[in-house]
């Protein structure tokens, strides 16, 4: 696939998923992981289509737009080279003479070219593009899976985003390799819609964004190293949201992620901890009188009742009972204490 076809949805491609696919999305994402699929020249991308379709494709003329943009880039590159070699343009600006520096002249040419590229896009209705996200090789599977799922049935499904893809692994092992993830939007010049997608990516996914690139730029070969020096993205992050707001949205995502991780870990911690619940001590049965150790509980109750009757009878006869109320409930195996007689000196 060349640059012109990098943004074209492939036909009959096993690494493309849509709602009409015979395999469920979770199974597709498990089967084809970007860290495991190696690009041999025939499978550079893994694709997932959302529930929406790009509404602008039917009326767009991508080929004409790309051809016109490529010609413009060639002109700008030549002009930038001329400015570089023009000795009449000073290296530094001069307020007294009003002369502008090489840098100022060059940036003016590049800014004008950026506006012309926008005009070409609108004229040919070729305004689609994508958010760029870079993910390290050890985290790309998880990041990609969450974005793809979100596009189909999550927070991204409620935005204008309609398609996403991720780069597969290079044929040769590359240290510190970064996978690019593209999330497609129908109109890169719709600032409000682009910003809405950005907020979801930050708030719900906590990803590192690298700006919004037009498909026209990709087709015309405009990248960060292009000789024209034209910015390779239509929008930079800070032209859409302030740094503080970007940080706040990501902080919310990661704080919720930490809370979720903690709540999952707590049940496991409880399993590992020994039980601190103490068993209740059994309530001892009422002790049977020791004068008949072989008596049953019923017999013991009868003996106790008989003893109480005798005590009551003695009380009625006017004689002081030999046992007190405390003695009645006391263990009969313990003899009552007798008062010691005071010794007379």
How many C-alpha atoms does 312 have within 13 Å on its Cβ side?
Answer: 6
The separation between the first and the last C-alpha atoms of the chain, rounded to the nearest angstrom, is 125
Q: What is the pLDDT of residue 10?
A: 80
% of the chain beyond a pLDDT of 70: 73
Q: For residue range 119-174, list pLDDT tens digits in order.
A: 999 999 999 999 999 999 999 999 999 999 999 999 999 999 999 999 999 988 88
Domain ranges for the chain: 3-56+126-260
| Residue 89 pLDDT level (bands cut at 50, 70, 90) | very high
Q: What is the pLDDT of residue 114?
A: 98
**Banded pLDDT at 6 (limits 50, 70, 90):** confident
User: Where residue 307 falls among pLDDT bands split at 50, 70, 90?
Assistant: low
Locate the DSSP E strands across the chain: 16-17, 45-49, 129-136, 163-167, 178-185, 209-214
> In the predicted model, is pLDDT for residue 304 greater than 90?
no
Q: Report the pLDDT value the prediction gives residue 261, as an integer from 0 to 100.
A: 76
Mean pLDDT score of the chain, rounded to an integer?
83
Task: Indicate if the pLDDT at residue 225 is higher than 60.
Answer: yes
Who has greater pLDDT, 71 or 97? 71
Cβ atoms of residues 96 and 183 within 8 Å: no
Residue 195 clears pLDDT 70, i.e. is over it:
yes
Residue 56 banded pLDDT, cuts 50, 70, 90: low
Question: Is the domain defined by 3-56+126-260 classed in CATH 3.30.760.10?
Answer: yes
Mean pLDDT of 250-267: 81
pLDDT in tens, 231-244: 999 999 999 999 99
C-alpha distances (whole Å) from 216 to each of 44, 74, 128, 182, 234 are 20, 15, 8, 14, 10
Q: How many CB atoms lie within 10 A of CB 280?
A: 6
% residues pLDDT > 90 (the chain): 64
Taking the C-alpha atoms of residue 30 and residue 183, their distance in angstroms, rounded to an integer, is 20
Max mean pLDDT among 142-146, 284-288, 304-308 falls in 142-146
């Amino acid at each position: 696939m060349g640059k012109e076809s990098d943004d074209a949805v492939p036909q009959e491609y096993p690494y493309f998923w849509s709602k009409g696919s015979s395999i469920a999305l979770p199974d597709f994402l498990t089967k084809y992981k970007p860290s495991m699929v190696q690009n041999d020249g025939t499978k550079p991308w893994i694709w997932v289509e959302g529930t929406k379709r790009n509404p602008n494709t039917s009326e767009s003329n991508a080929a004409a737009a790309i051809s016109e943009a490529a010609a413009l880039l060639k002109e700008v590159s030549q002009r930038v080279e001329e400015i570089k070699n023009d000795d009449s343009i000073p290296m530094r600006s001069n307020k007294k003479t009003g002369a502008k520096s090489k840098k100022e002249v060059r940036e003016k040419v590049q800014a004008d070219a950026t506006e012309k590229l926008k005009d070409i896009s609108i004229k040919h209705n070729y305004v689609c593009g994508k958010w760029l996200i870079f993910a390290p090789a050890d985290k790309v599977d998880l990041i990609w899976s969450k974005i793809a799922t979100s596009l189909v049935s999550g927070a991204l499904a409620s935005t204008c985003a309609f398609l996403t893809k991720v780069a597969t692994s290079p044929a040769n092992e590359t240290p510190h390799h970064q996978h690019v993830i593209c999330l497609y939007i129908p109109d890169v010049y719709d600032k409000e819609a682009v910003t809405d997608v950005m907020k979801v990516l930050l708030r719900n996914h906590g990803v590192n964004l690298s700006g919004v690139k037009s498909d026209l730029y990709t087709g015309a070969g405009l990248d960060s190293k292009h000789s024209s020096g034209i910015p390779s993205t239509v929008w930079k992050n800070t032209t859409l949201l302030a740094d503080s707001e970007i940080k706040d949205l990501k902080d919310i995502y990661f704080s919720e992620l930490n809370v979720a991780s903690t709540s999952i870990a707590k049940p496991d911690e409880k399993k590992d901890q020994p039980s601190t619940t103490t068993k209740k001590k059994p309530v001892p049965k009422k002790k049977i009188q020791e004068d008949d150790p072989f008596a049953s509980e019923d017999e013991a109750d009868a003996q106790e009742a008989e003893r109480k009757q005798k005590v009551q009878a003695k009380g009625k006869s006017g004689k002081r009972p030999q046992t007190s109320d405390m003695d009645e409930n006391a263990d009969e195996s313990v003899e009552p204490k007798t008062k010691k007689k005071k010794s007379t000196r």
